[in-house]
Structures are given as C-alpha cells and as structure tokens.
Amino acid sequence: IPVPKVQMQKIFADRYRNKVIVAPMVRICTLPFRLLALDYGADLVYSEETIDWKIMRAEERHNDALGTIDFVDMTEGTVFLRTCKRERGRLIVQIGTSDAARALQVAKRLEPYVAGIDVNMGCPKEFSIKGGMGAALLTQPRKIHEILSTLVNGLQVPVTCKIRILPDLADTLTLCRIIERSGVAAIAVHGRKKDERPQHPNNESVIAEIARVINIPVIANGGSKDIIDHKDIKLFGEKSQTCSVMIARAAMWNCSILRREGKLPIDDVIRAYLRHCIRYDNPFTYTKYAVQNMLRDLQESPRGKAFLETQTLLEIAKIWDLSEEYYAALKLQHQNAPIGCPADQR
Ligand code: FNR
C-alpha cells in the first residue's frame, strides 16, 4: 500500500533530524573521503556538486573489479561519481541545475543509489552564476519552486537544497518559506551571503531565525572556523539552534573531528583515507588535493615536501608505508575484473 505523500514527507524530514552531515566539497567528497567520514561517525555524506549536463551524458557502469557503480563522463572517459553498497542509505548527491525538467531527468538516474538528492543554491562561483545555477537561484523564487517541487513530486527519495543567506533577513525568511512549501525534506543553510568569503563571520543568528520560522529540519553550515574539537560540532548546532549540522572544512582538515572519542593524529587520518583511495582507485589529482588539505602547514615538513613531489598514487602510498596494500589492491582488482576486460579498465 503506497504511503500517503504527506506522511512520506514527514518520514523524509525525520531522516535529517539530529544528524551530523559532511558537506558537499568539490574534489574532496569522492567515495574514499565519504567512507572515511562514515568510519568516523558521520550520519550522512554529500557528494561533490555535479552539474546536471554531466550526469545526462554519463554512462552508468557496474565496476566488478571494484564492486562499485560508476558514472562515467564519456567525452572525457573519466568517472565523476563512484558509489558502493556501504554508503547506500547515507549518500546524498548534490546537483547543480537551472532547469526543473533536466534536474528530474538526472535525479531519476541517480535515485536507485542515493539516500537523497540535494540542489546547490549557494555556489557563488562565476561558472555557476553564469549558468543560472547555485547562488544565481537565490533571487529566482519561481524557478526554485519549480525545480524543487518537480523533484519532490517525481522522486521516491528525499529532496533538499543548500542555500546561502540573503542580504536582508526578511527576504531570507520569505525564500525559506517558499522552499519549505515546495515540499523538500530539509534545508541546509550556510550563514554567509553570496559575496562573503570564509574569513567573514558566519551568521548563526540568521540560521537560528530560519529554524524558528520554518517547520522542516534546518541544517546549520558555515561554522568550521570554530570547530576545533568534536564538542564544537554540538556547540555550533546550539548556537544556530538547529537540529542538525553540516561540516565542510573542519572535516576536510581532519576528518576524525567526527569521532566522539576525539580527534586522531593527522598521519593516522591520512593513512586511513589513502587505504580507501587505494581500494577504490581514487584519481591521483583528487587524492593529492585532499591530502594537501589535511597536511596544511605540515607541507613544510620533510614528509610534506616529499609528498609535494609525488606524481602517482603509488608514490603517495609509499610515503605513508602503504605500498604493500597498494599492490594487494591491484591484484584483487585484477582477480575481480571480468575475463576479457581491457587492462586499462581493470
Ligand atoms: C565547498 N563548498 C561547496 N558547497 C556546495 O554546495 N557544493 C560544493 O560542491 C562545494 N564545494 C566545496 C569545495 C571545497 C574544497 C570547500 C572548502 C567548500 C562549500 C561548503 O560546502 C560549505 O558550505 C562551506 O565551506 C562552509 O562550511 P564550513 O567549511 O564552514 O563547514
């Protein structure tokens, strides 16, 4: 018996209550990082933003060698979304879109593998704005409503969006009410305006006001600067008066911030991350970028300097004493690859 839509919306909304969520981050939030975040205690993990056009022209492949589902960009021959069973039920894929019909078409393709679909309405980058996506949507309430309600009505998984605040509080609240009326399960709010940068203070009082006036879960975002220890995650939620929090940079710098038991030394975190990268054949450039963001000042150390010279995943693995694991993973991938699979796909 199908569950009535109103009841479904309540069930969906509950999935976003009392959660610690890892935010979408381009080049960081690929499968290995998401698995690391789940290891350390994240409740939900967002993918990096993917533009709808890219998903439209993608080919979906079962990768037997890795045990994953891959979305492959056929023009570039690259995998832009890789997912596995372990994150099923926890993965939210964020899309960049400016068109309701296209958004639904691509969300339908993703639906079997995700716990939810999120629409990026906060990205201030020129590429997004020019395409009418990201923060460009914040001033187009009609379009927002059209995109979100089309997704809500067309999908069997929850739909959310991630916004930035507007210059005026009343406008921000009006916007959030429109978003709520579109039927989304929750809304993530980064407490900065479109033109503000990480060095500007995050406006938790506006997030709190949004949480006060709307009835769906509000997920507070933007607090990483003050999230030094695990307990600060809760403090950020309290300051914002929201039921859930979303963390980007603090997780990127040291993902073990998510552990209730406390943070781990960064070398342990890097090693754990690299194990996932090796297991799931993460692209070298992405791996290097993520490790660089974990090392931060330590890039000046002898190990950091050796790391900066690396040009392959194996070279990175060697620095953290993981070459044996690298070769073992390679062997396993060869064994699992179907007979006749070309060497470059193994
Ligand atoms: C981001 N952010 C971001 N936001 C988004 O909606 N989609 C995305 O793909 C990205 N990509 C991205 C990459 C990197 C490297 C960073 C650091 C940030 C913004 C991010 O999700 C978040 O809103 C801000 O970083 C503020 O939260 P924190 O960092 O204070 O927790």
Would you say the CB of residue 196 lies under 6 angstroms from ligand 1? no
Residue nearest atom 14 of ligand 1, based on CA coordinates: 25
Domain that holds residue 220: 5-258
Would you say the CB of residue 254 lies under 6 angstroms from ligand 1? no
CA of 221 to the centre of ligand 1 (A): 9
Same domain, 252 and 290: no
- Cα-only R_g, the chain: 20
For ligand 1, what atom is nearest to the CA of residue 120?
6
Would you say the CB of residue 123 lies under 6 angstroms from ligand 1? yes
At 32-49, the pLDDT tens digits run 999 999 999 999 999 999
Q: Whole-angstrom Cα distance, residue 223 to residue 215?
A: 22
Task: Check whether 123 has a pLDDT greater than 60.
Answer: yes
Task: Look at residue 340 in the predicted model and tell me its pLDDT.
Answer: 53
Tokens of 133: 């996506």
Task: Check whether 122 has a pLDDT greater than 50.
Answer: yes
Confidence of residue 164 (pLDDT cuts 50, 70, 90): very high
CA of 253 to the centre of ligand 1 (A): 13
Same domain, 162 and 195: yes
At 167-198, the pLDDT tens digits run 999 999 999 999 999 999 999 999 999 999 99
Same domain, 202 and 274: no
Q: Whole-angstrom Cα distance, residue 51 to residue 180?
A: 23
CA of 337 to the centre of ligand 1 (A): 35
Same domain, 29 and 149: yes
Q: What percent of the chain has pLDDT over 90?
A: 91
Residue nearest atom 5 of ligand 1, based on CA coordinates: 24
**3-class secondary-structure state, position 294:** helix
Q: Whole-angstrom Cα distance, residue 147 to residue 161?
A: 10
Mean pLDDT of the residues in the chain: 95
Residue nearest atom 2 of ligand 1, based on CA coordinates: 25
Would you say the CB of residue 158 lies under 6 angstroms from ligand 1? no
For ligand 1, what atom is nearest to the CA of residue 224?
30
Same domain, 235 and 321: no
Same domain, 280 and 200: no
Task: Look at residue 6 in the predicted model and tell me its pLDDT.
Answer: 73
Number of Cβ within a 10 Å radius of residue 67: 15
Task: Check whether 346 has a pLDDT greater than 50.
Answer: no
Among left, alpha and beta (phi > 0; psi -120 to 50; other), residue 241 is left
Positions marked catalytic? 123
Residue nearest atom 3 of ligand 1, based on CA coordinates: 25
Same domain, 11 and 86: yes
At 308-325, the pLDDT tens digits run 999 999 999 999 999 999
CA of 342 to the centre of ligand 1 (A): 37
CATH for 221: 3.20.20.70
CA of 48 to the centre of ligand 1 (A): 9
The preferred substitution site among 22, 95, 190, 247 for testing ligand 1, maximizing ligand atoms within 8 Å of CB, is 190
Same domain, 290 and 178: no
C-alpha distances (whole Å) from 166 to each of 7, 137, 139, 203 are 31, 11, 9, 11
Same domain, 39 and 141: yes
Please say whether the beta carbons of 322 and 275 come within 8 A: yes
Please say whether the beta carbons of 187 and 216 come within 8 A: yes
Task: Check whether 304 has a pLDDT greater than 50.
Answer: yes
14 burial level (CB within 10 Å; 0-12, 13-18, 19+): middle
Residue nearest atom 19 of ligand 1, based on CA coordinates: 25
Number of Cβ within a 10 Å radius of residue 39: 17
Q: Give the predicted TM-score (pTM) of the model.
A: 0.96
Give the DSSP H/E element, type plus range, for residue 259.
none
Task: Look at residue 71 in the predicted model and tell me its pLDDT.
Answer: 98
Would you say the CB of residue 192 lies under 6 angstroms from ligand 1? no
Please say whether the beta carbons of 253 and 221 come within 8 A: no
Task: Check whether 345 has a pLDDT greater than 80.
Answer: no
Confidence of residue 341 (pLDDT cuts 50, 70, 90): very low
Same domain, 98 and 156: yes
C-alpha distances (whole Å) from 188 to each of 90, 119, 244 are 16, 10, 9
Pairing of the two strands 68-73 and 58-63 = antiparallel
Would you say the CB of residue 131 lies under 6 angstroms from ligand 1? no
Using H for helix, E for strand and C for coil, what is the string for 116-168?
A: EEEEEECCCCHHHHHCCCHHHHHHCHHHHHHHHHHHHHHCCCCEEEEEECCCC
Residue nearest atom 10 of ligand 1, based on CA coordinates: 25
Mark which of 233, 258, 283 sits at the end of a domain.
258
Mark which of 258, 292, 313 sits at the end of a domain.
258
At 279-296, the pLDDT tens digits run 999 999 999 999 999 999
Would you say the CB of residue 317 lies under 6 angstroms from ligand 1? no
Facing residues of 60 across strands? 71
Would you say the CB of residue 122 lies under 6 angstroms from ligand 1? yes
Confidence of residue 4 (pLDDT cuts 50, 70, 90): confident
CA of 127 to the centre of ligand 1 (A): 15
At 56-113, the pLDDT tens digits run 999 999 999 999 999 999 888 899 999 999 999 999 999 999 999 999 999 999 999 9
Mark which of 209, 230, 258 sits at the end of a domain.
258
Residue nearest atom 11 of ligand 1, based on CA coordinates: 25
Same domain, 29 and 91: yes
Confidence of residue 339 (pLDDT cuts 50, 70, 90): low
Same domain, 218 and 290: no
Range in 16-20, 185-189, 298-302 with the lowest mean pLDDT: 298-302
CA of 25 to the centre of ligand 1 (A): 5
Q: How many domains does the chain divide into?
A: 2
Tokens of 63: 């990768």
